[in-house]
Structure 1
Amino acid sequence: MQYFVIEEDRSAGYTGFVDAVHKWGLPGVHCPACDATWSAGFIYPSVDLTPVAALADFEEARPEPIEEYERLCELVRPLLPPGAILEPGSDFGPLVGKAQGRFGSFVMSYFSLLVQRDALEKLQAKDIRGLKGCRTELRFRQRNSPELFELEILPMGRLHRDCLPPDYQPPCSRCGRSSIPLPDDLLLDATTLPRDLDLFRLEDFSQVIVCTKRFADASKRLGLDGVVFQPLPVK
């Protein structure tokens, strides 16, 4: 199986810009074990937190003591899709905000991957595995505005130890924080990769979105643009 990292195609010439945040989120955390205050997290746009009591606890970005963070995790855990992982700063619900300009088939917005409706429907017709588009709440001030969906991309794979620094230290056992920056040359750990998904993000570096050759080939055959696919080695 061949894999690719998905990146924005900066040469495409699109002017589209998204200024939005997700409706809800877990707070950041201060960990007494490693003495770090941090927030990274994963994105679950399909998760509706309205059944949760004290919904206001999920509406403001802030750091919390780890005990409070862990309490809030338990409130949302039953609502998560299978395979979901929680980290400080994880986001839930639709993207809410403004968008304008001219967009490609795919749109990279920070750590989110958006897709236009027609492109999503074409990929769904190709039976791409694990493809889940979630509605956004974006406001456009232009005619003929696109309908953008956010793809829910589960954390499933990890980098191989061989591409990490020699002085690599395991993540904090209490909060899970890793101080290792993203390596320049990525190498996927074959033993951690999902066999039933064509699109996923890395568990240890959530900003890295990975797809299979099946996803990349389908996108290219359909003429979908806005992103490029960079090959990733596997060991």
Structure 2
Amino acid sequence: IWNPQENLDESIKDIEIYSGKTLIGKEEIPKGFGKDIRTRAQEGGSIKSSQSMQFIQQIFPQLAPNSMAPVDKYGCFPVFKVRKITIEVLSNYGNPNVFGLGSVGLINEKDEYVVRDDINRVVVENCSDFSDPLQLIPQNKGIPEKCTFVAHSNFEKHPSLTFYLENVIILKRIILINLDVGPSGFDCEVNHCKIYTNDKLEWVGKLLCTRPKDGVRPQNCRIYITPHLNP
């Protein structure tokens, strides 16, 4: 949950989250910043599949539980396999002709990073000059190393990067790390962007710049993938 960055007087402080009438989360949110809230699972037995869910699964077989899907105490998550991920840059933080990213983490259902060997190709559009986009993807499945991607664009059309995977995966989340400009003062980090999976809009939002604010470095942007009901 994020507080606004512009109007700090409109920030909320304390928040409680309920599932029905049961309190499952409680936190204090800092001004001009956000915080991850870990909710507590409710006690009780597993929830049986309803008739409506069974009907939906007949229409959309990909929603049916399977051994590849992540599982919690309530059963399998409805997930879809992904082979194409697109990042469309809508705006940046300063320079009108240059934008940059630090790294792109594609996390599968096993909480492993997609590595460079898993990428078939990367297509960069609406850019006149750019560095190697494959450098955004880590080389191993552990914590990714520091990477950098910089591109020139006039933003008459939104620049985009499309990652094509060698094989389909269950995409659990995406971690975007903005370009680390350091003390240079050269503003070209991504500000707003869209995320598409298999050409379907998944997320629209804002990335925080990498410069520390009041000595605190902003968190990376974590995008949790929600499956679409339409095939």
TM-score above 0.5, yes or no: no
Per chain length, whose mean CA-contact separation is higher, i.e. which structure has more relative contact order (CA < 8 Å, sep 6+)?
1
More strand by share: 2
TM score, norm. by length of structure 1 = 0.21
More helix by share: 1
User: Higher Cα Rg: structure 1 or 2?
Assistant: 2
TM score, norm. by length of structure 2 = 0.22
